[in-house]
């Protein structure tokens, strides 16, 4: 929580803050101080990834805290994923196939080189990006993308290392390529996360052919679990059985957000339903069937019925569902001390409803939803960065912003 400090104490605070930093720079505190004078004006100190604003703009009120939205980058083209590097730089995927570098708070005009060709059609392109949990030791960066090939495109996972001198990816290799390829322009997935044990999870959508999500002999409509090099864990649920060994769960229409619970280490996801029936799911059962399209809370876009069933034995129920659809996208659990009233909550970007959905949980049970920043634009990704701030990308205006709490 930020502290309110009289402006008359500003010089004294600067002395207190600067002196320790000169003596021991490795202990510089990233968190900002906020000052407040009698005219209710605020002032922020500097920060790690981007400078903080000199004064408060519009104040947004929510149930638990007041906050400001600071736009830190603009000029992006459908910023799909964000990765925050430990040196204060940032990598951003643009769906059309460009990888962009942010250095010292500035977007570098020239795209990063070495990025493979992408199947940039419809919802396909350059998608998610995450760092290996041991990035500082091995430098691996993981990217999901729609890979072109004979028969169209399919979601693939590549890894590479970034060479700053050449401004290019090096040692590029695919660690997974789905199958089959198809000319469909939608439902590629695809988010990537690593759990605390180092397993890599990622998603591929049903590619617009709903019945494939119940067929575990193909890659469509699934959640996958692999080692970081693309090899298959021997205890994956379909090893030695019918079905692809790499599948961890199935019956998932089109996962668009994924995050690891900060206390349990379990993977959670959100997905797009059809017309209604967007879902928030917890993936705590290896081999689980999430039912699509045999069960759903949605209907076809033309209003026709997909199925009368919303539940069946042997099929998982969502933690909650959004009907009508908000089109959830990137998601993050809040763990930062900067948002104490939001700790443990799930933030979901929303494309269709153009907002951020805050979900309050009790364990694995849904408690409450608050919708913030309604009408701000199509929110593609939401991340909590190492500096403790929540960042989100807005594909409606090509920006990345962050939420600055004022309480």
The 3-state DSSP composition of the chain as helix, strand, coil percent (nearest 5) reads: 10, 40, 55
Residue 314 is classified by DSSP as T
Q: Are 212 and 218 in contact (CB under 8 A)?
A: yes
Q: Is the dihedral of CA 189, 190, 193, 198 positive or negative?
A: positive
> With helix as H, strand as E and coil as C, how does 121-132 read?
CCCCCEEEEEEC
Phi-psi region of 11 (alpha: psi -120 to 50; beta: other; left: phi over 0): alpha
What is the C-alpha separation between 394 and 400, in angstroms, rounded? 6
Catalytic residue among 3, 132, 186, 187: 187
What is the C-alpha separation between 130 and 144, in angstroms, rounded? 9
SS3 at position 280: strand
Q: Are 240 and 248 in contact (CB under 8 A)?
A: no
User: Does the active-site annotation cover 132?
Assistant: no
What is the C-alpha separation between 205 and 191, in angstroms, rounded? 10
- Would you name the residues annotated as active-site residues? 187
């Amino acid at each position: 929580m930020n502290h309110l400090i009289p402006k008359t104490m500003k010089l004294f605070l600067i002395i207190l803050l600067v002196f320790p930093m000169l003596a021991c720079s490795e202990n510089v505190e990233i968190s900002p101080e906020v000052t407040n004078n009698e005219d209710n004006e605020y002032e922020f100190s500097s920060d790690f990834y981007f400078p903080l604003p000199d004064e408060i703009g519009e104040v947004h009120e929510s149930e638990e805290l007041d906050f400001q939205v600071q736009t830190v980058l603009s000029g992006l083209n459908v910023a799909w994923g964000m990765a925050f590097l430990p040196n204060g730089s940032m990598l951003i995927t643009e769906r059309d196939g460009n990888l962009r570098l942010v250095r010292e708070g500035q977007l570098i005009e020239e795209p990063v080189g070495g990025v493979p060709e992408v199947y940039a059609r419809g919802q396909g392109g350059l998608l998610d990006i995450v760092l290996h949990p041991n990035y500082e030791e091995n430098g691996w960066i993981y990217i999901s993308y729609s890979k072109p090939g004979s028969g169209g495109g399919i979601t693939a996972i590549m890894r590479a290392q970034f060479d700053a001198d050449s401004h290019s990816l090096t040692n590029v290799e695919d660690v997974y390529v789905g199958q089959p390829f198809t000319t469909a322009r939608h439902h590629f997935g695809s988010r990537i996360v690593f759990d605390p044990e180092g397993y890599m999870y990622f998603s591929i959508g049903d590619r617009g052919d709903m019945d494939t999500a119940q067929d575990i002999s193909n890659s469509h409509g699934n959640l996958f679990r692999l080692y970081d090099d693309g090899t298959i864990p021997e205890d994956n649920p379909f090893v030695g059985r019918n079905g692809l060994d790499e599948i961890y769960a199935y019956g998932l229409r089109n996962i668009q957000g994924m995050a690891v619970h900060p206390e349990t280490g379990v993977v959670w996801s959100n997905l797009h339903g059809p017309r209604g029936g967007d879902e928030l799911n917890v993936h705590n059962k290896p081999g689980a069937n999430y039912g699509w399209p045999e069960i759903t809370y949605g209907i076809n876009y033309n209003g026709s019925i997909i199925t009368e069933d919303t539940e069946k034995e042997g099929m998982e129920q969502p933690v909650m569902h959004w009907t009508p659809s908000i089109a959830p996208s990137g998601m993050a659990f809040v763990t930062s001390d900067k948002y104490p009233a939001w700790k443990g909550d799930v933030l979901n970007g929303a494309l269709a409803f153009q907002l951020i959905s805050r979900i309050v949980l009790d364990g694995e049970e849904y408690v409450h939803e608050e919708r913030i920043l309604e009408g701000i634009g199509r929110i593609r990704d939401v991340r909590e960065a190492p500096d403790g701030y929540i960042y989100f990308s807005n594909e409606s205006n090509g920006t990345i912003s962050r939420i600055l709490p004022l309480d």
